[in-house]
Structure 1
């Protein structure tokens, strides 16, 4: 009997989850098993998440995207967040992170896990502050771990925990002034707890206790980047790299316990630094899958940060990132609504797909070739069917009808696709 997907892979066992992932990713099961055994692929699959359709994240696999949602004190509407979750699944997101930090968080989390076929992630630190209803300073180590265990019992597939924010990393933050300090919510809360109590980060100090929980439920540990840059000015600084080195050390300790690991990364970052950061993570963290927020390639576009994120995400994934956390137009401004969420998901899916073409993922180009063939045939119904967002493509087409049905209102009778098809078929051409 195996304990985790990694344990099974090391023992040479092809789990049901692994077979599903191998089939859908067009990989030989034995190759995928070797990747899981080495830690270069994770299959987040908590044994209590019975509605899960398993997916893999990592080397040689399609780039996956995650959608953040959840209730907060200012926006407490469980039904709306569940509606968002259903929409995210409909729009083909591969993961949902529940970032709830107020109220009946467990009720929402359980309902989400009960019905969700996609993998579910959480940040227990948020819930500790919201659920325990205590001042941050007064939360005990045991209480922190009780929240982690509760999330694992409920069926959470992966958890973001900022284990690398230790006293050494905190010192780097204080010694090297940043423009935007610490922008990670969970990281800033842990930093504050450490400063207020003059103590080490409990998730670093008692890391083996955390691994016990992850191993018991097969929770994938998403090692959070407390020092991710919140501005392009702070990217690739001493604090970020100090933490990344620590995360690499913690990765090896987790693997020794057969706990699956992802590494989280930036953040905000200039375009010319992205490729180097992807290489650094893969080298320092021994090939573990990389999960990035963006990166956002400029800081000046509130209201359009789904675009700045998609630019950075495509470059990051083409250079080795495995998992993109979506960013919506509402980033830095407010909790996203349904429309914001859709814009963010589509932008992230475009970035992920563009990267998969660059990475040579099996079948990635096929979709594009099918679309190009439909355009060459001037087959608008087929183009709309193949679109990443058929609803929007169909609406745009319907809003502006051309004189000739097999053209559009941009080119009309001068449509190069239509005219080239006619000429090459030896037909007469009239564009008058």
Structure 2
């Protein structure tokens, strides 16, 4: 029986090889997974041309996945450094990499990335349109945008952010809301500018069926971009954000009808007390589609530390139902991140995702924590380093100020609580002055 996409196969009762791999990774019955892919509550982004892919599932009952953004800009066009970021991301176990390059002819780097990466690859074709087409924004036609979408799909991109929800109705709501930070989505702002300068409807909304036809041909998952996501906690959950979310819910169903898998993107910046409600609202309005969130960043006053503001929000979002977290680095709002920024962003995002999985009760989520706790009880440093998210950093800290006694650290020394309790339970004496 033939099929074009993972969703079409699932609807026909076929468990693809990608579904079988994901089911094994998630310790899930493959029939349960297949049914969720058929309903759209799980997506397995897997372009037919991405042959190096190690597939992952995103959505209901899955571990929370993380995405790493990278790519060159006009001010920083070092593809060698970007590939180093790719290697680091894969080494830390990131499930997804988005190439957000927006300068020059980006397809050479993107093809190298797709050939190399076992992680799923995402792009935002809108970013690439100016350089790819070599036209000013106002001169780009609707069919030109579709040409870029097809080029990315043909190269092997697994999912694409398409800002199809910022149509005329959503723009009207945005204008009436009088935001403090207006539109902070790069792709969304470019589409808004194009719509205002040309007087036309959003081409991705107007020609949505043609977009879906392209994506279906290559089995590309559509990630419905949140062009009107809040860029400050002041603007969160306003009329513009919700108006677009309503549009995304309708677009989700249209994609599923054509057997195209869907992710829905979400905020952004948001106060702690609004996060859980927003996760529930998205799941309701978008029919349980997997939710992909940037952060949310829970305060606006921490430039240089936004990997922390994002991790706080991301943990709450994941615990409340978000399925996919986009990392944020310390360089957010300030500059293109370097390798160390990327490392900090990945680790903080993995912490948030894992904390969310524990809260959601994902099977096996606590296993590593229990093993770490047991290693701490036994004061087995090598095992602790092997279990840590960033074992290299943990070892570096420990060895920078080594303890006099191997069964302690330099903070507590002989007064280590684990050491003391272990010795007493082993019927040994505890001597703090001069003893061992």
Output the TM-score relative to the length of structure 2.
Answer: 0.98
| Corresponding position of 2:111 | 110
Deviation at 1:80, TM superposition (A): 1.2
| Corresponding position of 1:247 | 248
Contact persistence 2:105–2:131 (CA under 8 A):
no
Residue 316 (str. 1) matches residue 310 (str. 2): no
How does 1:144-183 map onto structure 2 within 5 Å? 144-183=145-184
| Corresponding position of 2:235 | 234
| Corresponding position of 1:37 | 38
Residue by residue over 1:344-366, the C-alpha shift from the partner in whole angstroms, topping out at 9 and shown as x without a partner, is: 00000000000000111111100
Residue by residue over 1:17-56, the C-alpha shift from the partner in whole angstroms, topping out at 9 and shown as x without a partner, is: 0000000000000000011000000000000001000001
Deviation at 1:175, TM superposition (A): 1.3
Residue by residue over 1:260-282, the C-alpha shift from the partner in whole angstroms, topping out at 9 and shown as x without a partner, is: 00000000000000000000000
| Corresponding position of 1:274 | 275
Gaps (5+ residues) in structure 1? none
Contact persistence 1:9–1:34 (CA under 8 A):
yes
Distance 2:419 2:213 in 1: 64
| Corresponding position of 2:426 | 425
| Corresponding position of 1:340 | 341
SS at match of 1:146: helix
| Corresponding position of 2:101 | 100
Query: Could you list the runs of 4 or more consecutive aligned residues of structure 1 that deviate by over 4 angstroms after TM superposition?
Result: none
How does 1:53-68 map onto structure 2 within 5 Å? 53-68=54-69
Residue by residue over 1:365-397, the C-alpha shift from the partner in whole angstroms, topping out at 9 and shown as x without a partner, is: 000000000000011111111111010000001
Residue 258 (str. 1) matches residue 247 (str. 2): no
| Corresponding position of 1:307 | 308
Contact persistence 2:66–2:96 (CA under 8 A):
yes
Deviation at 1:103, TM superposition (A): 1.3
| Corresponding position of 1:405 | 406
Contact persistence 1:101–1:131 (CA under 8 A):
no
| Corresponding position of 2:214 | 213
| Corresponding position of 2:393 | 392
Distance 1:154 1:381 in 2: 43
Residue by residue over 1:139-186, the C-alpha shift from the partner in whole angstroms, topping out at 9 and shown as x without a partner, is: 011110000000000000000010000001111111110000000000
Gaps (5+ residues) in structure 2? none
| Corresponding position of 2:18 | 17
State the aligned residue count: 432
SS at match of 2:75: coil
Contact persistence 2:294–2:328 (CA under 8 A):
yes
Q: Which moved more, 1:67-76 or 1:271-280?
A: 67-76
Deviation at 1:323, TM superposition (A): 0.2
SS at match of 2:102: coil
Distance 1:164 1:256 in 2: 17
Deviation at 1:431, TM superposition (A): 1.6
Deviation at 1:133, TM superposition (A): 2.1
Residue by residue over 1:196-229, the C-alpha shift from the partner in whole angstroms, topping out at 9 and shown as x without a partner, is: 0001001001100000001100000000000000
CA RMSD of aligned residues (A): 0.6
How does 1:70-85 map onto structure 2 within 5 Å? 70-85=71-86
Distance 2:172 2:131 in 1: 28
Q: Which moved more, 1:17-26 or 1:416-425?
A: 416-425
Q: Which moved more, 1:377-386 or 1:261-270?
A: 377-386
Distance 2:97 2:162 in 1: 16
Output the TM-score relative to the length of structure 1.
Answer: 0.99
| Corresponding position of 2:129 | 128
